[in-house]
Structure 1
Amino acid sequence: MKLLLLAIPLLLVAVPGASGELEVFTNSKVYSTDHTLQMYGTGLPGENLVIRLFAPDDTIAKFDQITTGEDGSFNYNLLIWPDPSTNFPYGTYTVEVISTEQNGISERADIKFTSTTDLVGVPVERNLNTLVFAPETAAVHQSVRVFVQVTSDGLLIGNDPMLLLRTSHVHLPSGLSISLSNTFKTLHQGLYYVDYVTREEGTHVFHVVAFNQGTTSHGSSATNVLSQDIGGISDQIISLNSILDETSGELDTLKSEIESFDTTLARASIQIDENIGTIGEASSQLNALLLPIIASIGLIVALQITILARRR
């Protein structure tokens, strides 16, 4: 009985740690340059807490470790917001406080760093964008590389694509959908790609779904799959151009021969004209020779007729 009575108080002491006593608050939801980001809340007495500030691209912009007071409370100025830069751009940040003694439980809070602290004009929300880049045309049964860019508040997100893009898929011309989960690879922080082998001819729509910190973004791009790719068509065009070049050369040769024939005809025409002129001159000369002879013959005939007439 004494052993049981001793065990009960020990169990009662362990309960507070198991219940997860951790509360985190910030002094504002929206901050601008020169404003102080103040963290306060409660944990276990004398507990070590890890504070991390995540930038919009999920990288750690600030890291600190503090210890709670005897009553478990803490109040800590994490940072004074600097001028916006590549390290501290405008956007939605996440503050996370992790307990080192309560099985690693954590609390998170989203805040906004912007040029104004107006809560009405600047809602605390994440702007997640997904862009998909796919070739316009491809050949069936060939690999197609599709690129994806995911940004949050304009910054590239470097999460694991198996988690970030796990519900992405491709719509086939037949109406079927094929999952692209576990197929994306990381090219660079926030840039991913997938190599997909086409199965059908027609339009393939790549539908990429990005999910990050409770926010979903969609992006899509279409590829028209043909029986052969542009490379094959280009080869045919090159072959056709070669045939056309040969035909053009033959036409040039024929044109040259025709021009030569025209020259020959022109020369023949000139020669014919010259021959006609020569014939004309010869005819004139012949006429000049024949006229006296004909006149002489006529005179002789006339004399003979006169002689015959006298004899009668």
Structure 2
Amino acid sequence: MKFQLLFSILIVFLIINTPNSFSEELELFTNSKVYAPSHTLQVYGKGLPEENLIIRIFAPDESIAKFDQITTGFDGSFNYGLLTWPQPSTNFPYGTYTVEVISTQQNGISQKIDVKFSSTTELIDIPVERIVNTLVFAPETAAINQPIRVFVQTTSDGLLIGNEPSKLLGTTHVHLPSGISIPLSNSFKTLHQGLYFVDYTPREEGTHVFHVVAFSQGTTSHGSAATNVLRQDLGGISEQIITLNSILDETSEELNVLKSEIAGFDTTLDRASIQIDENIGTISTSVKFITEASSQLNALMLPIIASIGLIVALQVAILTRRR
């Protein structure tokens, strides 16, 4: 009994002196939902008495824009001017910001609130919401068994967001022409915050659809792109066309050489034809001269032949008389 009494007293003593171990309390509020330049972002709420709290504000690209540490009052309440909004810049662009308060004594619990930084503070026209956009860039055509690279861009309010691709793009996959899907969640690599890529080798001919699903701070965004996979890529066809053009160029050069040779042959034939014509003219003239010479020779030979005939006849007559 004494041991049980001592144990009970010890438990009560621990409960009284270490209330933080058994009760957690953390509340966070802001003085507005939408802010314009020169307005003050006031945060208030309640934690444990005299508790150290860490207050952070995240920009739309999830980077930390402001970091402070405060201590709550005796009653656990706090009210703190965290930020006077500056004019918009690359460090503080318009968009959705996240205010977070973290307890240093309550197992690191935290509370978050989204606020809007805009050119106006009208709540009706500017809802406080986070919009994540996902863009997918894939080649239009590819070849079987040839790797291709697919790029993904994730933004919120126009700024790049995301860090670990396995968490941000955890359910991304590719739809094959055969109808099955292949997950790509563990294949992405980081090129830059918000910019990722994956190297993929298609094994089927047809249309491959890359379906990218981005999940950031409770918001889901989808993006897709299609690639038509052929048996041969345009690079190979282009190389074949270049080779064919090279062959055609060589053939054209050979034809030009043949044409020049034929042109020289035509000139030779023309010259030979002219020479033949000249020779024919010369032969014709020679024949004419020969004909004229033959006529003259005949004119000279006829009297001689006649004289010879007369002499022969006289000799025959003389011989006849002698007998």
**Normalised by the shorter chain, which TM-score bucket?**
0.7 to 0.9
Partner residue, 1:58:
62
Maintained 8 Å contact 1:17/1:44: no
C-alpha displacement of 1:38: 0.5
Partner residue, 1:87:
91
Partner residue, 2:314:
none
Maintained 8 Å contact 1:56/1:153: yes
- AA aligned to 1:32 is A
Query: C-alpha distance in 2, partners of 1:191/1:36?
Result: 33
Of 118, 125, 129, 1:114 maps to 118
Of 162, 169, 174, 2:173 maps to 169
- AA aligned to 2:249 is D
Partner residue, 1:303:
none
Matches within 5 A, 1:131-142: 131-142=135-146
SS of residue paired to 1:112: strand
Query: C-alpha distance in 2, partners of 1:136/1:33?
Result: 44
Query: For structure 1, which runs of at least 5 residues remain unmatched after alignment?
Result: 300-312
Query: C-alpha distance in 2, partners of 1:18/1:142?
Result: 60
C-alpha displacement of 1:252: 1.9
Partner residue, 2:254:
250
Residues 1:215 and 2:180 are matched in the alignment: no
Maintained 8 Å contact 2:173/2:210: yes
Q: Which moved more, 1:53-62 or 1:248-257?
A: 248-257
Structure 1 286/42 Cα, relative in aligned 2: closer, same or farther at 3 Å? same
SS of residue paired to 1:228: coil
Of 141, 160, 163, 2:164 maps to 160
> Which of 1 and 2 has greater Rg?
2
Residues 1:3 and 2:43 are matched in the alignment: no
Query: C-alpha distance in 1, partners of 2:67/2:245?
Result: 66
- What is the count of residue pairs matched by the alignment? 300
Query: C-alpha distance in 2, partners of 1:29/1:21?
Result: 23
Q: Which moved more, 1:190-199 or 1:243-252?
A: 243-252
- AA aligned to 2:261 is E
Of 52, 70, 91, 2:74 maps to 70
Query: For structure 2, which runs of at least 5 residues remain unmatched after alignment?
Result: 304-323
Residues 1:97 and 2:101 are matched in the alignment: yes
C-alpha displacement of 1:287: 5.7
SS of residue paired to 1:45: coil
Of 274, 279, 283, 1:275 maps to 279
C-alpha displacement of 1:286: 4.8
SS of residue paired to 1:41: strand
Partner residue, 2:26:
22
Partner residue, 2:182:
178
Q: Which moved more, 1:267-276 or 1:21-30?
A: 267-276
C-alpha displacement of 1:289: 4.7
Partner residue, 2:203:
199
Maintained 8 Å contact 1:133/1:148: yes
Maintained 8 Å contact 1:18/1:102: no
TM-score by structure 1 length? 0.87
Q: Which moved more, 1:22-31 or 1:140-149?
A: 140-149
Query: C-alpha distance in 1, partners of 2:290/2:235?
Result: 81
